[in-house]
Structure 1
Amino acid sequence: MGDQDQELDAAYALKTPEDSVRLYGDWATTYDTDFAAAMDYRSPVEVARAFAGLGGAGPVLDVGAGTGLVGEALKAAGIGPVDGLDISAAMLAEAAAKGAYRDTIVADLTGKLDLSDSAYAGVVSAGTFTSGHVGPEAFEELLRIAVPGAIFAVTVHSAVYEAGGFAAHFASLGPRVADFRTVPFRVYGPAAEGEHSDDIGWIVSFRKA
């Protein structure tokens, strides 16, 4: 098993927010090179492309921003301002250094967010809604902090889309959202190796009604 497989297995095995803080704190300074580049990680660019294609505009909240790969992609597309939210202060320190974010926010998505109602015109996320991470209940808070008409574009790993309750939760939102769409994509590009190299996810997009 390669280093990337071991890192991903550790990430997918997370059980608590405290586990996430420890793992990503240790991983922060090497994440971009040892994981994102080595595995040809496509989720950040795919989410930014989807958001831009839907006419997304700032202010945007990047949920589970990590080291700021989505923020960089949004900046390259001319979209901003963007705030980055993550449970790991160490990861956000890496993100802040890239200059793509207006603000970085340390917060736990499994609880209530200390953010105002209707604060954002867009919500994006890459890699946060996957095994061992954040469940679909987080969308209640994310909808609260989004303005009516706000555009959402997030990835959900195929392993949890049905099994983790995401499909059922999205269906339960009913008239609270509009223009709901799911598009499959490959999480990693052709340079990826290892048992996770063929992982599939969904880009889930909708608009807050």
Structure 2
Amino acid sequence: MSARGTVRIERVVTSGTFSLDGETFDVDNNVWLVGDDEEVLIVDAAHDARTIHRAVAGRQVVAVVCTHAHDDHVDAAAELAELTGAPVLLHPADHELWAATHPDRKPDGELSDGQRIGVAGIELQVIHNPGHTWGSCSLYATFLDAVFTGDTLFHGGPGATGRSYSDRPTIETSIRNRLLTLPGDTDVHTGHGEDTTIAAERPNVPAP
């Protein structure tokens, strides 16, 4: 696919809570919009569907992609899908987590490793990155030299694995084998906090 030349990445920060294993925390989430003036892909519908919808600014939404199904990343997905008419996509290994937040609505489609999602003339490749949750995925946009990692890889290293549906050795293996092999100058756009690069995070993921 050839890009139309005006493809860009936009960040929307929303605030809310994250709840799992009987505990609740206040969190700020990064919501990513990838597209141009005509159409856009939304990565992680966190907390505030109306704020995200305003950022869409009338563009066609091709999909609402969930990097994983922790409630702070999907709590606005159903409402945002209603506002935009876009399908919600999630890896099937996270369906149980999704159901804890949306018991009466299933995702509209599934993410799978190697799948390509088109928007604004470019493609984003799905990378299955289990560990933070079993269905965690990243989205790699070669044209933009960028990868959207959700809560799998942060500025400073791997995401948390101390709760249900997670495992530390799995996330470290997943990051080493599937993310740190990307070009070093690839920008890493995370689910929380500041951006980083693949090269900057290589020292932060220990060898087995």
Q: Is TM more than 0.5 here?
A: no
Q: Which has the higher strand share?
A: 2
Greater length-normalized contact order (CA 8 Å, ≥ 6 residues apart): 1
> Whose helix fraction is larger, Structure 1's or Structure 2's?
1
TM normalised by structure 1 equals 0.38
